[in-house]
Amino acid sequence: MKLINEEYSQLKTKVLKRSMTGQEAEFHMLDNKGKVSDRAHEVIQELLSKYPDMPVTKEIGQNMIEFGCYPDIKTYNPALNMIDSIQKAQQVCVEKGLTLFPFATYPGKFEPKIQEGEGYLIKQKIFGEDKVKVTCRVTGYHNHYTLPKGVFDDKKKEIRMLKKSKLKRTMVSSYNFEIAADPALTLFTQCSPFYEGQNLAKDSRMLVYRGGKKLKYMDGVYSRLQQIGGLPPYKQTGTDIFSSLNKRWERWEREVKRVSPQTDFDKLYPHKLDIGWNPVKLNKHGTLEQRGMDVNFLSILIGVGVLLKFSLKTIQREFVEVLPADFAIEEAFKIENGMLYIPPHSYVRNKLQYWSAYKGYANKEMYNYAKRFFNFAKSVTPARYNKIVRPVYDMIDSKTSMSDKILSYAKGKGYVTEGRINNPEAAQLALYYSDMMPKDLEETKKKLEKVSVV
């Protein structure tokens, strides 16, 4: 592809050559009987005692463990770093009679324990204890890519207000692209057909976490605070993004002051980019964060992460203008003369988001959309990553997500009755897939090591 304008050619060689990518993955902790365990802190403590620099931390639920990585300009390095951390954690788990569960929702019912801390307590007061427990029952995968150079102030940890800047346009394009990509990305990673023993949807995590009228599910954590946790609309300019960040900050401050007037809001949330748990987010680390996906086997997550990284790299390096268009409902992710066309955000948020959660590949429009995203992303991804992205291609080719596989297996074993699974069978199902995780990690590691020496 050519640059939109020859005057960008010098920028292309300087601006984003060190753009980095990174990721985070949260997992549930199980005991050796397949029940959810609240002993994640034991594993974290031992890991940090042995490996002080390991990027591993607690999450809101005592049953959860989060792995980060060291960001890098090479896609394979953060992935290998994360796999190494998870494999070391698995060794510790074995010694303690524990195991990691690779999917976003545990299939059965369990009562989580919430971590202590002012931030967690505030959320309990705002959402209510029942909804905060939802956040302990779901785990996600977050993908990061560096914002264009110059649009982020590293010292103040905030977006710069640039009046005339081609780089600012690439930030807006990247932001809108990730919103448009969200239904495809959540389809590729969906693995949460059960929540609390019930088959709510193929992506139950999306329902119980995002919620809202567009998903026809008002019991979600952010159902009545979509501004804080729902899939946002596109933005036309950098000013629009800046304005939305301010409004979100002000909304959350009102919520916090309503339930806890004595809280020092600025101390608890020192940066405006601390606020927001939306599927697409500008992060205080100077990254664009895609946080709407289920956690899953690393082979799938890393494949999706590679596709997303090279898509964003192309948009930012080649100054591709991402534009909404009515015709993109049928021809999504069509690229032509330096323009990448995406559907109107109303179509993405009202229809595709819903179809991804409930129907998956079974919906023809959603299937075609996911295929078009993949074809674009694959076209800008180096050929040496073909084996890494193969799991995504295989899902599209078979029209089968991990949620489809889980449901098929559970029904075949007779675990599911009228859309429900009881706790003994849920434990068996959880252990069955947990036992697959070490092999998936090792195979993915070998593929990445081959890429790293090319």
- Per the model's pLDDT, the better-predicted residue between 164 and 30 turns out to be 30
Number of H helices, E strands in the chain: 18, 14
The second-level CATH assignment, the architecture, of 6-452 is 2-Layer Sandwich (3.30)
Examine the pLDDT at 2 and tell me if it is beyond 90: no
- Residue with the two structure tokens 């890519």: 145
Which pLDDT tens digit goes with each residue over 67-106?
999 999 999 999 999 999 999 999 999 999 999 999 999 9
Which pLDDT tens digit goes with each residue over 123-151?
999 999 999 999 999 999 999 999 998 89
- Per the model's pLDDT, the better-predicted residue between 311 and 5 turns out to be 311
Partner residues linked to 25 by β-bridges:
67, 141
- Provide the pLDDT for residue 205: 98
Model pTM score = 0.94
- Residue with the two structure tokens 């959540």: 186
- Provide the pLDDT for residue 134: 97
Give the list of residues 6+ apart from residue 335 with CB closer than 8 angstroms, or none. Answer: 1, 320, 341, 376
What is the rounded distance in angstroms from the CA atom of residue 268 to the CA atom of residue 274?
9
**Band of pLDDT at residue 19, cut at 50, 70 and 90:** confident
Which pLDDT tens digit goes with each residue over 437-449?
999 999 999 999 9
- Provide the pLDDT for residue 196: 98
Examine the pLDDT at 14 and tell me if it is beyond 70: no
Q: Could you tell me the two tokens for 119?
A: 């931030």
Examine the pLDDT at 11 and tell me if it is beyond 90: no
- Provide the pLDDT for residue 18: 67
Query: How confident is the prediction for the chain on average, in pLDDT?
Result: 94
Examine the pLDDT at 10 and tell me if it is beyond 50: no
Which pLDDT tens digit goes with each residue over 360-413?
999 999 999 999 999 999 999 999 999 999 999 999 999 999 999 999 999 999
- Burial (CB < 10 A; 0-12, 13-18, 19+), residue 51, is middle
**C-alpha dihedral (307, 308, 313, 314), degrees to nearest 10:** 70
**Band of pLDDT at residue 162, cut at 50, 70 and 90:** confident
Domain edges within the chain: 6-452
- Provide the pLDDT for residue 116: 87
- Provide the pLDDT for residue 303: 98
% of the chain beyond a pLDDT of 70? 95
| Average pLDDT for 263-276 | 93
Give the list of residues 6+ apart from residue 382 with CB closer than 8 angstroms, or none. Answer: 310
% of the chain beyond a pLDDT of 90? 90
83-116 CB burial, b ≥16 within 10 A, e <16: bbbbebbbebbeeeebbbbbbbbbbbbbebebbe
